[in-house]
Structure 1
Amino acid sequence: MESKKITIGLLAFYLAALTWIIVFKMQFSFGDLGHMRNLNLIPFGESVIVNGEIDFNEMIDNVLAFIPFGVLAHVLWEGRPLVRQAAPIIFTSLLFETAQYILAVGMSDITDIITNSLGGTIGIGIAFGISRVFRKNWKKIINITSLVCAGLMTLLVGALIVANW
């Protein structure tokens, strides 16, 4: 039970950080946010084409950003079918895209929902693999690794804040 509380805390920290990055564009003031409201419902359409060429960077970033969500989702809901583990990831991605549209702080894009969902699903697969390799202590290994990553992220953000003060 203690492990589950740690995982829930890590997921809350991760989601808060992800919200700050995706919705609030790492700003501390609403005044610093740009005002852009754009909606793309064509998967892998205009949003990924830059100067006439496909830009894979944003898609890769989206996949990577949601892998931890999938890892933590599998730790919390390992007994559920894959679809039930992935559903909160897909819903959260949809929520982020909707928030960006409503707040006019970015482009709401179906491609982002697809790539975020892919990242979360990859994370579920990674956690499943870890659970098979480290049968007994896999949750502890994931929680410790996640705590270290959360600590490093906090230090990095703190350093960025101090450097830009």
Structure 2
Amino acid sequence: MKQDIIANCRNALYQILFYGVMIIYFILLFFLLFRKKAAGSFQSVNLIPFHSISAYLFSDDMVSRAFALSNLLGNIAIFIPMGVYLPLLIRRKSIFVNTVCVALISAVVEVLQYIFAVGSADIDDVILNTVGGLIGVSLFRVMELLLKDQTKKAVTVLAPVGGIFSFLILFLVNR
């Protein structure tokens, strides 16, 4: 009886931690993606795949290359957690379905950024975000294979650590 109460309390704590961290991630992601850009920034649309990526990577300007690296890695990194959370939220659909969901969410974000004038709409961002989501979904699948029924608990414990680490790296790269 006492062990059942302890187990129920532990499960409730895991649920609170899991959903709390997930909500914090989505709130931070929202503010990161929809923060108002600096004065003088411009609105643009890029519908040519890899146009921005190649322009950044093959630039002769070191400042552009440094920005490119932070932009490329940042767009990938911020969507890895979404790839981990999605299979838990939509009940373990295939890697393909989860990755398509990430791509659709990213495309909607890009359109909204343009509509609300808080950024440029760039197909390259959708590609990079989708790669991040695919990495996250793949990490989830590996955890699921290794940990079986303990996957959600592992995500609950590892997500805060990974999230803090990811946002710290993004902060340091973008200083």
Gaps spanning 5+ residues in structure 1: where? 25-29, 157-165
Q: Of 71, 77, 82, which aligns to 1:69?
A: 82
May I ask how many residue pairs the two structures share in their alignment?
150
Per the alignment, do residues 136 and 59 of structure 1 end up closer, same or farther by CA in structure 2, a change over 3 Å counting?
Answer: same
The question of whether the paired residues in 2 share the 8 Å contact of 1:74 and 1:124 is answered with yes
Name the structure 2 match of 1:12.
23
User: By percentage of residues, which structure has more strand?
Assistant: 1
Measured after TM superposition, the shift of residue 79 of structure 1 is 3.0
Computing the radius of gyration from Cα coordinates, the structure with the larger value is 2
Tell whether the 8 Å contact from 1:19 to 1:96 is kept in structure 2 after alignment. no
Among 15, 22, 25, the alignment partner of 2:33 is 22
Identity of aligned residues (%): 25
Unaligned runs of 5+ in 2: 1-10, 169-175
Alpha-carbon shift at residue 139 of structure 1 (Å): 1.2
Instruction: Please tell me whether the aligned partners of residues 42 and 119 of structure 2 are also in contact (alpha carbons under 8 angstroms).
Output: yes
TM-score, with structure 2 as normaliser: 0.70
Q: Does 1:130 align with 2:143?
A: yes
Higher mean displacement: 79-88 or 12-21? 79-88
Q: 1:61 to 1:31 in 2, by over 3 A?
A: closer
TM-score normalised by length of structure 1: 0.73
Tell me, yes or no, if the aligned pair for 2:79 and 2:133 is still in contact at 8 Å.
Answer: yes
Per-residue deviation, 1:122: 1.0
- Larger proportion of helix: 2
